[in-house]
Chain A
């Protein structure tokens, strides 16, 4: 039996992010994770939520210098993911309840590292 969990994916604009997150919070969803994907010239930020194994994902696409508002005022535990977004991807997140200012995940190299991608070019911003 292949796992066939229903997963909903919704693209969200930056200006609507907080409203959407507040709506999910009011609907009883828990925050599952926030993760980033480098899509070359921009980042996709996935905000994942769950309620009774119903998985909903808000997808925000932002440029490298775009400031993203913190959702830690709504989901207190979001600070771990938002500090990670900053420390590993360099995305500026404003208003985090516990802001480690780049020291949550200590890396010898500053983001976004220098691993060569399979296309031969360096990672964006490298």
Chain B
């Protein structure tokens, strides 16, 4: 029996954008066990809810994550709106959907670049991030912020997008989609990419479900969980269907994200075409008194904001369960059997967002 050694992976590692630590138990070069630990960047953002008014906490919620910031604000706002019985105007629902899908686009393109980098495919990395820049430009044009948008609020949205800009966005979607499909073809069809990813970090459908996997990690294993399917914001009007792959390996998780890029472009196109006229917010009166588990679909999977109000202007409790926390147990099951050199690829395949996870 080969000697077992423990190799620490992270928290600082060239492929890790954020700090997660995994103790890898190896036999020669093969991983036999992986034990994760987090906690390097816990910020105590949940506790801040007791010091910020419920309308101000949207800004804090948005800063939980630097990538899926808009969807955190959306999930929080939807939770408060449910507790207070606020009906959001239709135009606000569509605008929220457009910005949510822009967030998903830039998050997936960011991840595709990082994933290509983890495989040593530098040109693919640069091309992915080049395309991501054009999404960030749209976010900056329409919200004023590339990363933190600040447009979602309880009762609607703060900013509108004029018809001229919507038309311009619509015109730019076709050439952008072509560029994304050219990029996606490399991820999906390049022999070296397939050779590196297929059969790696496999997790079956039953395992993914039992371990509580969410997002592309679950959908790459054939578990069709996507909270957009419940029809929140404008998704119910747009005929949304989740993207599902079945192989359960790193290639399948990559394929889900590539195809979700195409799906997001299509959703934005539909939302622009069907954009209703009307107000973008309603006046919010009173304070929240009640509780609700608000759920939304981030690029990494289902996020939950448990919100509890006691009738005062501060919430009594906000508890946020981010998708990466739910995807850590599946990661622990994916790693055994992998070679040490494949560990960065497998870890990245769940798209870990640690600042989000630790809040």
| Chain A residues near B (Cβ < 8 Å) | 1-5, 7, 30-33, 35-38, 46, 48, 53, 55, 57, 75-77, 79-81, 84, 87, 98, 100, 103-107, 113, 115, 117-118
The answer to whether A104 touches B37 (Cβ under 8 A) is yes
A32-B212, A53-B230, A75-B210 given; A115·B44 CB < 8 A: yes
Min distance, Cβ B249 to any Cβ of chain A, angstroms: 20
A85 to chain B, nearest CB (A): 11
Interface range on chain B (Cβ under 8 Å from partner): 35 or more
Q: Are B50 and A118 in contact (CB under 8 A)?
A: yes
- Residues in A whose Cβ lies below 8 Å from that of B38: 104-105
Contact with A along B326-359 (1 / 0, CB 8 A): 1011101000000000000000000000000010
B81 with A2: CB separation less than 8 A: yes
Please tell me if B238 contacts chain A, counting CB pairs below 8 Å: no
Contact A30 B40 (CB under 8 A): no
- Segment of B144-152, B170-178, B304-312 engaged in the interface with chain A: B304-312
- Closest residue of A by beta carbon distance from B295: A5
Q: Is B88 an interface position by the 8 A CB rule?
A: yes
Measured between alpha carbons, how far is A35 from B236 in the docked complex, in Å?
A: 29
Nearest A residue to B75 via CB reads A3
**Complex-state Cα separation, A57 to B38, whole angstroms:** 26
A105 to B88, CA, bound (A): 37
- What is the distance, in angstroms, from A104's C-beta to the closest C-beta of chain B? 6
Task: Write out the residue numbers on chain A whose beta carbons fall within 8 Å of the beta carbon of B317.
Answer: 37-38
Whole-angstrom CA separation of A36 from B50 in the bound complex: 15
Closest beta carbon of chain B to A80's beta carbon, Å: 5
Residues in B whose Cβ lies below 8 Å from that of A100? 37
